[in-house]
A and B are shown apart, each in its own frame.
Chain A
Amino acid sequence: MAAAAMPDLSELTGLGSPLYEARKGVYPKKVDGFFRRFKWAIMAITLAIYYITPWIRWDRGPYAPDQAVLVDLAGRRFFMFQIEIWPHEFYYVAGLLIMAGIGLFVVTSAVGRAWCGYSCPQTVWTDLFQHIDRLVDGDRNAQIRLANGPWTAEKIGKRTFKYAIYLFISFWTGGAWIMYFADAPTLVVDFWSGNAAPVAYATVGVLTATTFIFGGFMREQVCVYMCPWPRIQTAMMDEKSLLVTYKDWRGEPRGSVKKAEKKPEAFGDCIDCNQCVAVCPTGIDIREGPQIGCITCALCIDACDQVMEQVGRPRGLIDYCTLDDAEAEKKGEEPVPPLKTLMRPRSFIYLGIWAAIGLAMLFALGNRTRLDLAVEHGRNPLYVQLSDGWIRNNYIVKLRNMENRPRKVAVEMTGLKGGVMWIQGGSRDAAAQSLEVDVPADAIRKLQVFIAAPGNGPAKEEFSISTRGLSGDKRGDSDAAKFERPGSE
């Protein structure tokens, strides 16, 4: 179509072919079978999780949002069911991301590129859009005819209708994403009444555009040219990795059913019907062997099994198979049973690391205190000479109440001889060795605390300031502090 418009640089470069290659259309044929149904199920589950999660409610009392999963960027809180993460606890999120990464290792080690084939969003949305193609344009042959045909009124109508559906899905994809970042029911009303934050509209716009382009047009190009994961997985593959394999020792040489009837001994099981190519969502020919474009969705297995059944040959000409199995099968030996393929040391090592991180985080979560204290010694000035000969130091005491209720807490000092403390704005006359402070729900209270002690003492004296809850969970926190007198600098 646009080939004539492209600059012909072949004269300049001495190349016989153009520098740039147009995308070859992929029009996967409808297929049914075990893996197709499995893909349907995974699509239904992943899309359901994506769309439903933000709408699950979770009662946290009057001081916190009641959305089960909420990334509150403005308030800097991350809610996930009964877990609430503060910004300083972000390592939990980092841990989750590391677990997600190692989780991919586990999956790759056990079942190959299953992530690519079934649950990657790019795969799920491409699959969805390919169903739209079939719905509007018809199956593979009708799609090819329409793509190659002239721009008739019918084609324009069909394209307009199809792109409208693309856009509709894309918009809902972006629209569901923002629900994770604000109270979903409120946001829906705000969004449609024009009162939502500009960033909400921008996010929906960007995600609509990327879904429309990546799902509607780029499709397998994303996997082949953009995504780093196929490359990483290629490096992780070994002879025990599960691959979608065309068993060439059984299939070759190819020949039609009619030819094979005449000369059965000269031909393999492959009848060269091309069904495996026709159903492939990335447009590859699996018979060329393992390749980066193969996302191991196994739709070709479904297609081939159907054909084998029709021509009365055993199924599994294309099948999930490891390189080791392929070698064994070629020699006529028994392949390793599937369960044994799954259970190999590498998978268990990955699984062990994955589980260890998970358990460590669960342990840390279970033991974390929800009342935190940080003491910062004022450095300017280090100390203040008081008129009666005592010395005063200044401290910023930060009390972090991570519970969803206002709390009364005690702040206590121990280990400073004769020392007393009071809060800025208060009076030294009322100074004592402990304070009672109200901290609002789910908030930090920053106190400017003055501590005075007699002037005769060491230039630097160590002591500690601690806090504890006065009701409910009494666990608190403690922090070391220094008291400085003249001569300490």
Chain B
Amino acid sequence: MSEDKRIDEPTGTDFVGHEWDGIEELNTPLPRWWLWTFYLTVIWSLVYVVLYPAWPLISGATAGTLGWTSRGQLESEMQAAQQQRAPILAALAQTPLEDLPANRQLMATAIEGGKAAFKVHCVQCHGSGADGIRPGSGYPNLNDDDWLWGGSMSEIQYTLEHGIRSPDHEDTRFSQMPAFGEILSASEIDAVTSHTLNLAGEGPANATGAQLYEQNCTICHGTTGQGDRSQGAPNLTDAIWLFGGSRDDIRTTIVNSRQGVMPRWNDKLDPVTIKMLTAYVWSLGGGEQSARPDATQAATDGGSSDAGSE
């Protein structure tokens, strides 16, 4: 106890008795409610320790009487999200593929869902922008207007369901170009390469090449090189080359024959997911109108609106 109780004149406060270089500390007590709020936080923490996981143990932690876990919360949130999605997925399952573009709201949802599924299942080959990673990579660019097997909704869906050259699957899309390196001589292959370039509008005509083309290639690629979607034969006259459009690239393709494999997805994904993937791929810009007239009518005013959000 300080015996000499001095009072600081200007403030009327007493000193605590501490002094540093002539600077003395005044006694200004904290308000008592301040202490109460501190006790309140202590009580709060005690209640929290009882209710929630708190004390770390060797394996795990004390459980807390509420039984709350972060995994449990995630699970319930996921369930809630699934419940929220259920009616949309049901509507997608019931809507025929051809009617989907007419339903603007549902189509927009399907495109978003397909975009998400694409990021999981398809980007490994087609790239995150669905552009086949780079031109001439052998993985088709799904943004363009060139389709080997058709670009309508139903054709895209068939490709997704059954794949292309998907092993051990009867309904898969299948085509095979022979490796002409074993059939034609080197000079003959040069001539066919020249003719192929000529078909695409690059380079002069080659009579030998044209003759060889007619004998070996027209059955699939057609007389003018326009291709045949029924057997997945590429159009040779356009600006798009799956395996590259340079003279060397084309020659290599003719010599070795090149083809990719796409696995079928109907054994891995549910029909609704495949439907959403179809909508997404179709919407990337190259999608072709299906035979149904109502779809074309709706497609003239596409896009999505999201009222009230940024």
Contacts and interface: CB of A to CB of B under 8 A. Distances in A.
A144 interface: no
Interface string B27-71: 101111111000000000000000000000000000000000000
A442 B308 CA distance: 7
A444 B128 contact: no
B131 interface: yes
A17 B14 contact: yes
B308 A425 contact: no
Given A425-B302, A446-B304, A17 B309 contact: no
A234 interface: no
Contacts of B90: none
Interface in B95-149: 101, 107, 127-131, 135, 141, 143-146
A213 to B, nearest CB: 10
Contacts of A455: 239
Interface in A374-424: 380-381, 384-389, 392, 394, 423-424
B238 A387 contact: yes
Interface stretch (B80-88, B252-260, B293-301): B293-301
A46 interface: no
B302 A424 contact: yes
Interface of A: 2, 6, 10-11, 13-23, 75-77, 87-88, 218, 221, 225, 380-381, 384-389, 392, 394, 423-428, 430, 437-440, 442-448, 450, 455, 486
A321 to B, nearest CB: 21
Given A20-B29, A218-B33, A424 B14 contact: no
B310 A21 contact: no
In this complex, which of A423, A426, A438 has the most chain B Cβ atoms within 10 angstroms of its Cβ?
A426
Contact of B30 (A19, A392, A440): A19
7 contacts: A16-B1, A20-B35, A385-B144, A385-B239, A426-B299, A439-B305, A448-B303
Contacts of A447: 302-304
B268 interface: no
B306 A384 contact: no
For the complex of A and B, 7 pairs with smallest distance between CB atoms: A425-B302, A380-B129, A443-B307, A387-B238, A381-B131, A21-B29, A447-B303
Nearest to B289: A427
Given A14-B2, A394-B285, A23 B33 contact: yes
B131 A16 contact: no
Interface residues of B, number: 49
A406 B33 CA distance: 57
Contact of B107 (A18, A225, A425, A486): A425
Nearest to A389: B239
Contacts of B167: none
B300 A426 contact: yes
Contacts of A439: 305
Contacts of A448: 283, 302-303
A391 B92 CA distance: 33
B32 A450 contact: no
A425 B299 contact: yes
Contacts of B34: 20, 225
Interface string B141-166: 10111100000000000000000000
Given A427-B299, A444-B310, A387 B235 contact: yes
Contacts of A424: 283, 285, 302-303
B93 interface: no
Contacts of A225: 31, 34
A103 to B, nearest CB: 30
A438 B30 CA distance: 65
Given A425-B283, A444-B305, A448-B302, A15 B27 contact: yes
Contacts of A384: 131, 141, 143-144, 285
Contact of B302 (A218, A380, A423): A423
A445 B303 contact: yes
B310 A88 contact: yes
A376 to B, nearest CB: 13
Given A387-B239, A425-B107, A443-B307, A14 B141 contact: no
Nearest to A429: B289
A426 B16 CA distance: 84
A225 B238 CA distance: 80
B5 interface: yes
Nearest to B1: A16
